[in-house]
């Protein structure tokens, strides 16, 4: 957060093509508002093995011991591979099975030294039921395309397997209805980056408790993502909605989207090695008389923040199942509130 007594409009600064967060191009820091859905007793509790010994004979244990995950519809992608790597580091057992398109059926993918077999659409229910029977402590991790969200959730609900879903899009109302009706354990969040979720929660608290605090202020928003992301950032929209409640007049169509790799490197300051995977956000507020300015910024390079948050969600959900807590849909706010994250 930056305050300044002199006027400054960084997004359209003359004389310099670089944007303010370009000066921090080497930092490796980071999506819509979270919902606080509750209500939803499961038959099979997770079996958590909490003892192990290291070379000194002292008891030590990785947090994921006794938990198995199956990364579906995503182990062949960068996000899925990042999750598998993070889960493996946490001691979580990686089930060597995943799902993919018909053209990917039968393929074998190697991640973290593990050979993972990809099954096609026609095998999904039979394969998932078989894996769940063999690994009753199983938790499915879902990173797929938006159009697959509802079909996947209906499959997990039918089989009764708990899951963590970081996929965005789909019919969200239908998604929640299906999972609540099935009464299974799930963590659903379009934003798995814990620190970003905490920032969004803080913005919501500020908007709720101090409505109109920024009345009259003008807002400029810029966000930069990899070229494959065609729509505006859900995170940016969530933050903007908070500023709107704080009294700022702003239309979502005004968001400045940076998708050109050259601009991202030269103007925004995205490290070249992260052009294909990053999330840079900048929000600049200026007072009516231009004597005061505020700036909020959060930049993410790579996918580790989302992968680590996903694994924390898996550990959180496993604990809830072991303790026979409420069978319902949880979100990343619930995970944050639990504390004790790695």
The single residue of 78, 229, 237, 319 carrying the catalytic annotation is 229
What integer pLDDT is reported at residue 44 of this predicted model? Answer: 32
Q: What percent of the chain has pLDDT over 90?
A: 64
- Please report the pLDDT score of residue 17 as a whole number: 41
Confirm whether 158 is a catalytic residue: no
- Is the pLDDT reported for residue 188 higher than 90? yes
Task: Tell me the whole-structure pTM to 2 decimals.
Answer: 0.76
- Per-residue pLDDT, averaged over 5-11, amounts to 39
Catalytic residue among 81, 225, 278, 281: 225
Residue 336 pLDDT exceeds 70: yes
What is the pLDDT at residue 62? 64
- Whether 49 shows a pLDDT value over 90: the answer reads no
Nearest to 220 by CA among 281, 298, 300: 281
Asked whether residue 5 carries a pLDDT value surpassing 50, the answer given is: no
What is the residue-averaged pLDDT of the chain?
A: 82
> Which residue ranges form the domains of the chain, and what is each CATH number?
68-193+304-338 (3.40.50.720), 194-302 (3.30.360.10)
**225 a catalytic residue:** yes
For residue range 152-183, list pLDDT tens digits in order.
Answer: 999 999 999 999 998 878 899 999 999 999 99
pLDDT of 10 strictly over 60: no
In tens, the pLDDT along 106-159 reads 889 888 888 999 999 999 999 999 999 999 999 999 988 888 899 999 999 999
How far CA 115 is from CA of 105, 106, 111, 127, 334, in Å, comes to 14, 12, 7, 16, 33
Tell me the average pLDDT across 247-251: 96
Residue 74: band (very low, low, confident or very high) from pLDDT cuts 50, 70, 90: low
pLDDT tens track for 88-112: 999 999 999 999 888 888 889 888 8
Report the percentage of the chain scoring pLDDT > 70.
80
Q: What is the mean pLDDT of residues 258-285?
A: 96
């Amino acid at each position: 957060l930056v305050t300044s007594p002199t006027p400054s409009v960084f997004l359209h600064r003359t004389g310099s093509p670089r944007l303010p967060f370009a000066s921090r191009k080497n930092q490796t820091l980071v999506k819509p508002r979270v919902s606080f859905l509750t209500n939803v007793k499961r038959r099979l509790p997770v079996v958590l093995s909490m003892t192990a010994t290291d070379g000194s004979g002292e008891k030590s244990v990785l947090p994921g011991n006794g938990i198995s995950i199956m990364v579906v519809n995503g182990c062949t992608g960068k996000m899925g591979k990042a999750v598998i790597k993070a889960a493996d580091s946490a001691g979580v057992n990686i089930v060597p099975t995943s799902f993919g398109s018909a053209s990917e059926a039968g393929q074998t993918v190697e991640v973290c030294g593990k050979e993972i077999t990809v099954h096609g659409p026609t095998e999904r229910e039979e394969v998932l039921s078989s894996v769940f029977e063999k690994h009753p402590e199983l938790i499915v991790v879902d990173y797929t395309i938006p159009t697959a969200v509802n079909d996947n959730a209906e499959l997990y609900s039918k089989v009764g397997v708990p899951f963590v879903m970081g996929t965005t899009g789909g019919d969200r109302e239908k998604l929640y209805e299906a999972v609540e009706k099935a009464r299974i354990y799930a963590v659903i969040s379009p934003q798995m980056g814990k620190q970003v979720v905490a920032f969004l929660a803080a913005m919501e608290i500020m908007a709720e408790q101090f409505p109109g605090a920024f009345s009259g202020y003008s807002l400029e928003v810029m966000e930069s993502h990899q070229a494959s992301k065609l729509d505006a950032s859900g995170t940016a929209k969530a933050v903007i909605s908070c500023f709107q409640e704080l009294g700022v007049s702003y239309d979502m169509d005004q968001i400045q989207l940076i998708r050109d790799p050259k601009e991202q490197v030269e103007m925004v300051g995205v490290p070249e090695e992260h052009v294909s995977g990053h999330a840079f956000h900048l929000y600049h507020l200026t007072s009516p008389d231009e004597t005061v300015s505020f700036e909020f910024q959060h930049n993410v390079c790579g996918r580790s923040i989302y992968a680590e948050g996903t694994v924390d969600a898996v550990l959180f959900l496993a604990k809830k199942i072991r303790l026979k807590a409420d069978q319902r849909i949880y979100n990343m706010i619930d995970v944050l509130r639990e504390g004790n994250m790695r």
